[in-house]
Amino acid sequence: MSDSNNKKSDYSKEFAQRQAAAVKESNSYSMNNEYLTNTQKAYIEIWYQSPIRAFWIGYILSTIFLEGIRPVFPAIFASLIVGYLNTKLKEKDFERLLTVFTICSPFWLYLFLVFELVQNDIAWTSAIALFIVSWSGLGVAGHGIQNTWAKGILYAHPKYGAAKALFGIKKFPFEKLTDDEFIDVRKRGARRISYLATFLLVIATIIWIKP
């Protein structure tokens, strides 16, 4: 009886360890993953990075052409639009977008920031914030839309959810250990938070769009 209990205990510990490893893998996307080809990984990076580039391109263009409007707000809406469009794209669309994505290099953002700082047309705090956004994607509104869509497909790192939708992947190996009865609840919660944040963002834009 004791041996039987020990075996059950060992199995439970092993299962818990495997489950924890699967959850960690599902939440930490790696470019070294073995599930996607190099081309698919490149497409997923375009999908993930495009709202970030839309943000700073919107910021640059609004700074140049829309002097009466705070540039951050057109930048926010540019990222929102791209984030929404990313939920409608197919795998074949990313082959065309690869060239556009390559042309819209962060080099132009950094050049713009240096120029604006030299001209004293942008505060150091704004320049630092733009650099952080470009490097990390922190606070980019378009991510809220596309990431919520991706998590609705697979409650894991958004890149895995997007890959599953774009490339017709039926199931990742780690899903066997990460699925539970609370997945649907978490998905609904993520959607509600995303909708609320987007609504508040639109209201804030209407109120504070002018300097």
User: Has residue 181 got a pLDDT over 60?
Assistant: no
Say if CB 59 and CB 112 are below 8 A apart: no
Matching residue, tokens 């997923």: 44
Q: Residue 40's pLDDT is what?
A: 95
Residue 184: which pLDDT band, with cuts at 50, 70 and 90? low
Cα dihedral 102, 58, 78, 104, rounded to 10, equals 0
146-156: average pLDDT: 89
In angstroms and rounded to an integer, the radius of gyration of the C-alpha atoms of the chain is: 21
Domain ranges of the chain: 37-208
Per-residue model confidence as pLDDT tens digits over 47-72: 999 999 898 888 888 888 887 788 88
pLDDT: which is higher, 91 or 20 = 91
d(CA 175, CA 172): 6
DSSP class of 173:
T
Say if CB 60 and CB 72 are below 8 A apart: no
DSSP class of 36:
S
Type of residue found at 191: R
pLDDT: which is higher, 76 or 207 = 76
CA 111, distance to chain mean position in Å, is: 25
CA atoms within 13 A of residue 39's CA, in its CB half-sphere: 9
Say if CB 96 and CB 117 are below 8 A apart: no
